[in-house]
Structure 1
């Protein structure tokens, strides 16, 4: 959209365009409607040239962020001290009204500077929109690495404990299972770290296959895996864990007498008290299962989960 600007506004706009290569320059009226935008707003799939009505700045944001952006812009236009950058997602697509593709969503930051006319009356604002998608993507990658085990791709202990804390805050009561491949340390000493890593990776993928919808998986350390079973009763959780153990033993049966016999064991507990208490109870169940020869499911304090 091209609406005539005053000489002062034109000079300001020209300067901004020279200094902010790649940024989108926008002129708002006192109500937040866009009365001018630099040509590169077309990157957002916007074509204001044929618009019959002035678009509002909030029309650029996705529905979930429209009110948030409107609140920020209104405060800035009213002269309140909220002039920092604000970030929001935009559907950068020509069919933005109907497009729901996540790949079309891109994050932008907006900065506003209120303007006044010759009488000192508020007269809208000049804005800069700057893409921050690359920064957002990098932050997402760093967060994913911080909460993901690099070998198996499962959530790590930190992420799993955070999930347990959220469930405990809502009252707890869910079942949790801790699995481990039996004789993992002996396997490591005999065949080396590479083979041990392959077994860990393979068992992680096996657990992903056996997991039911809504169950959360994690690798607690180099030997133990955890599964949160939010929809299962204690009896159903034990039956599921026994099925996992039996199925793994069948799939991992050695092809020759020289190949190692791989089995797994599990411990069950209810999510209660604290995260440490919950994991300790589950790991005690695992110890009991292994003490019984492995390939079993153990429950410490069975009266609490029966």
Structure 2
């Protein structure tokens, strides 16, 4: 026995009464020749309710609707003897439809896409009524001796059409979507919605209220307009209006369908076919419009975020087509280079770099197109403004369409002239590692001592490439050198312009992060660690996957360089012995 609390009892009773009224109405009005009802709306009401509840709360609605079904069938259907089996079949049909819809389209808005519509039709318009139709036909054949095929067809068509026609509007109302959509409308939109619904009602009445001309096409005009202007709510409401007005007038002998020389059951089946055709025209259009509306909304949001980033970023963001011509240049180019973005659009990007770097730029672009799943980092010299030459670092990634075809390249460009000047100064003082172009151990010591003596705090990070000896032994020293160079390039791309990356020796590297807190340094270093682990190096014999371990230590003015290095080295030791490919902080 189902126990219902006092707070829930009243809504359940109201819902059960509504189900009973719908059952009684369809049985009284659409049951002909002692057979099943030609239109059944009650299943749409119950299935819509079940889709709004978790399965554990289905018992209450199923119980009250079972009682309502038994009562209605006993009074106006096949009588008390068959009322219980029919109630079980009706409840089973609703449960099957709701279960399938839960699985095929969980928590999806009504009519939000054609995929939802297809799943809705399969679940509630095909599978559920098909199962219940054969069960009901078997019960009728056994209990009333009527032919099963005819009743199965009538049951299926009545239940499937009733559910597909009325369930969308029931779902919109029960989920609260209808109320939310109406609340979002301003006065003009609400007035337009009311006018469209009135227009649909008037033309439906004009089409079915006269017997002179076959005007069944006439309601389609305002229904299509209502779908385009009012969305899912207007589309679902229009179909319900058509079914109610068309069905009522046809039952009373009015309209083109009522003039067909056939029994009333045949006329109602033709009306069902007509409503089904209208529904299969309107609902897919509504779903497609809703899907495009959602897509345009996401595009607007994405464009707003992209514009916010590009307009407030100190980096230059550009888009290039497949030929290498600039399609978009962010406004920051004016501040950095002195060029107007409009002047650059349409020009080949390689024409902006110095002649000695043009071939390198074209090769980098072709490499980005050829390897679209990687981020490529390159540096070029560019003449800006009054002919001043600056160095720019370019991080590029290919852009692909839905089919996976490369349509262009997006690049983030950063002025690294200060860093290049510092690197050149270090090279002149023999402070640069010849393999990677980074500062060597001597350069690191001088940089760290300078930072400690300046009084500003910061952090030092030490990195060690995991299992580097194995790479040398397996792929050769040339491959090992390429791994070191790749780490150096990714490290430079991952840190700030004021940070220093150094090769301490062998496979060990250091990063000095002045004015960085331990949390900021951890974010930067973890970004570098993830960039290394997500990059595969192509060598002659295949791909090399590399990971790196790191230790991070803060430094203060009163510390010595040896103390800071020792603290970072101890943190690195803990990271390596904790499993590698991770960071550890100084204790």
State the structure with bigger RCO (CA 8 A, min sep 6), 1 or 2: 1
Q: Which TM-score applies when normalising by structure 1?
A: 0.49
Q: Which TM-score applies when normalising by structure 2?
A: 0.26
Q: Which has the higher strand share?
A: 1
Between structure 1 and structure 2, the one with the greater Rg is 2
